[in-house]
Structure 1
Amino acid sequence: MSLDNANDIVQWIDRPQTRYLNMNIINDVNVHDIYPSHSITLTLNTERFILVGKKSSSTSANIAVNFIISNQIHRKELKIDKVDSTCENYGLLRRLYAKQMLSELSAFPAKNKKRILDIGLKYSLVSNFISILVLETLQQHIEHKIYPHQSRRKLYNDYMTCQNNKKQEELTQNQSKLTAVLNLWQTLCSCTSLQTAYQIYLNERQSYSKSPSFYFDIASYFFLQARSSNSKQSSIDAFNQYYAQSNCNISNEYQYIGLRILTNVLELELESVQLLRTVAYKLVEFGLYNLAENIFRHIVNLRSDEPQSFRDLALLLQESDSETKNLVEISDLFKKVIFGEWDKRYSEIEVTTFHELNCFIFQFHQQQQILNSIDNRLIRHLSVDLRIVMVWNTNDTDIDLHVIESTGEERYYSHKNTAIGGMISRDFTQGYGSEEYLVRKTVKGTYIVRAKYFANHQQTPTGATTIMVLIYKYYGQSNQQKEIVTL
């Protein structure tokens, strides 16, 4: 019929039309997702009407299909048998179902674009958004970024291998780019915010590139500046601190630069225990326990024949703020020092370590597991008003601890007892110490701590000896205070 004029159009509209109305499920509620999902007008002289849906039960189902023909409702009841998923036509049925879905969704292509794409890719159907490509080679699949079907096993595996290699290459390239940009950005931030001091370091570094003490002293300067700047922190500083290296507890840019400079020492001789201890002691001084722990654990592996290695790690783990600290490991490290067999030059380090173990037990005595295998006769907490401990990082070195008490009396290796009850441990002329000063009850006044570098019996290219002095006021008491100095 021609629709060239208005009368023809009106006659066509008024003409009775055949329509699919709806479908009723008679005996199986597991029939669902029916297409067409709404009433539609059927094409004139149509020979076939297709209705598709899903059926999830194992029994047959009865349905009724309703049509409007010449303004009269016609009902057709049908029985749907269970479909065998292994039959040869099963794949065709799935594609037919998908085509009916696409036909309905394509009425509003922009709105349904994602679903149309998903269905087309899943069932290999052409739509307004999908084109047909015939791909034979691996290179063609890579070029068009299309996965081969898994039935083509070798081609699929080769494609997946190429994709994984490509992802790894992209990851490596991105990481390299990030590292390069980050280095430039950090240098810019350092130069603009720290200005003069950092630039002096850069200018002098070439002349002192092989000197550990150079890096150590410059790093100490920046760490001290970090302490000062933390006391007058601005909102910008607080913002930067929140996002700056939180896993390492880096508090500000001064500390970050100090850490970068300090770790340059390790590059001079990576397996030098002297340099490792130098860096670790400085990290402990500034409370960077996580970083120091990694170094101390490495030292344990390198120097398992030295009790100082285990004692350093035990003390660090005890001081750390971690809520998950392993108390049994700390106890075992202390006991390793106390009950281990060591060279005679380390003799009596057990006494100092026993003092520290008892303080640890007193702090965590409710945890019964740390008391295992410890003789009760050895458990006695000894609190003192003043405790000074000195250790150093070079072997075969004789450094003497001197303490001038508030009364003016000097306590050292050849004058072991003073009038107010001050005591000092034995004189370690080899090894790493520790030398320890104790006084149960102090006399009010100033106490002066001195370290006398008496002799060094070893040849080393790694620079000067570093000492760490730990000063405890009210050691083992609830009001304990601690100060660490590295020189």
Structure 2
Amino acid sequence: MNKNCFMKTRFYLPFLVALLMFYSGISQETQKVISGMVTDGRNPIKNVQITTKDAETSVFTDTNGKYIIEASVSDVLVFSYTGLRTLEILVEDVTRIVNLTMFSQIEELNEVVVTKSKRRSQQELEVEYNSNTYLIRSAYGIIDPETSAFQIRVLPENSNTSVGLCILDVVRADFPGVAVFGDCINGGSIFVRGVSSISYVQPAIYDVDGQIFTNTPIWLSPSNMERIAVMSGLAARNLYGSIASGGVVVINTNVGNGYEKSNELRDKARLRDNIFKGPALTQKELMADMPTYYQKFYASASFEEAEQVFEFYRPQYNGNYIFYLDAYDYFASQWRNVDFSNSLIEANFGSFEENPIAMKALAFYYEAYGQTKKAVDIYKKVFLLRPSYAQSYLDLAKSYRDVDELQKATALYMRYGHLVEEGILGKAEDEFSLLYERELNNLVTLQGKSILPESQPKNYVMEDDFEGTRLVFEWSDSEAEFDLQFVNPEKHYFLWEHSLFANETLIQDEKLKGYSTKEYLIDESLKGNWQINVKYLGNKSLTPTFLKATIHYDYRKASQRKEVKVFKLQTKGVNQNLFSLNISNTNLGY
């Protein structure tokens, strides 16, 4: 992409200057009351301190882990407790309830390692790694057992004399006192703390060249194991979190690599021995966890019966936008009556107004059912409520393109770029910036002649851009946490974790810059059936989240087309199937 694309295109869009003046940088100073509960995942935590960053307001959780605090939009709430990771939560326009799970402090070794006499940088340890065979490389940096604050047992390079078949045999032979069960044919587990512990017995996890496995990597040959280390549960928990309560077996191989950062799922799925074994529940299998009215909708034998169900439950759920979204989706999908669904929303729009989360979810459904003009109207309302959110520009620009208002779409892309250049809006993480640029590039590539002078479109096309199937996910609630799982035709999977525990830096950037989207690219080199699953982890208000998946077929080709699907995420902690893709013929399956 031409680096001056944003600036150049302004000259071809005279009305952009007027649009730029529309940005108001609204700051909402109204105090609001925020409440919630803090737990460790099982039990409430007393005396967690909650403060507003750069302010004097401070409260503590009570014996039930509950708290109440006053804050303003754009304030940052800081949750801190000795021994647990400090978390920061940005107060948004819709923030009312923040229920939080806190985790053990993880000290990442990406900068320095503390020794008795001095601090040794990771760069210094990298230089020493080949000559000091007792250094071990972990997912959190290189660890020196001699200066580590915790005990770690290392089997150094050239000391692995085991004639066994897998890591179970190696640990059984070279780490006395560590309990090993199973064999290298059927699998097994390693218990660093031993089975006589009075606490809950949890097997060790495995760190192989920086990649974390919960299943024993019996596929890894001892001949490829260069260095092996064993950490106790206490030390491991401090580094890896609660998942490592049973300890960690760290393995450095002689074929380890840096694992590329590409977004292409075919390569990511093959990086690890991640074999999908299921199950992934269908939407039908999740029906039992849905509200009663939802189950009665789908049990209705006729349109009239379903309409009676709606009227019966409407007084009970009056003002609840989720009820109306469920009704909209039901009547539009099961009875193909989009007009009736539209009338339900029009009659009850007060349940959505002034709530950007509710309106985004509604716009998702409008897109899914081809109501593109209605989607534009909703995205305009969200934009007015959230003029400083990067997602507001992206959503409205894409919706303008859907209704062939290409000049307006281009102007919004340019406008966002200008505001970022001027420092009025913060620059988001590189992945979002690339996604945003890809959207603009795609618009110019396919429809540049309609928006730019004839000689200009070629100047704005990125070289060697992706062609294939492009998946774009967006979620309605920025507090939503979930894992997306992509299973390739060879049954290997790649897992993208979207949670404070797994990816705190990304979550913070999303909230500060105001975006909630992720793209993935699947090329055509691995044909066959792909399965896309999700595990919903919840949000801080304990409400459902709506996830939009946009599937772009033949991306960047003249035949490019898209399909939009919306999923209501409600049942937590289970792997559920979203959809399947057959890359050989790009048919979508359910």
Q: Which is bigger in relative contact order (C-alpha 8 A, separation at least 6)?
A: 2
TM-score (norm: length of structure 1): 0.47
Higher helix residue share: 1
| TM-score, length basis structure 2 | 0.39
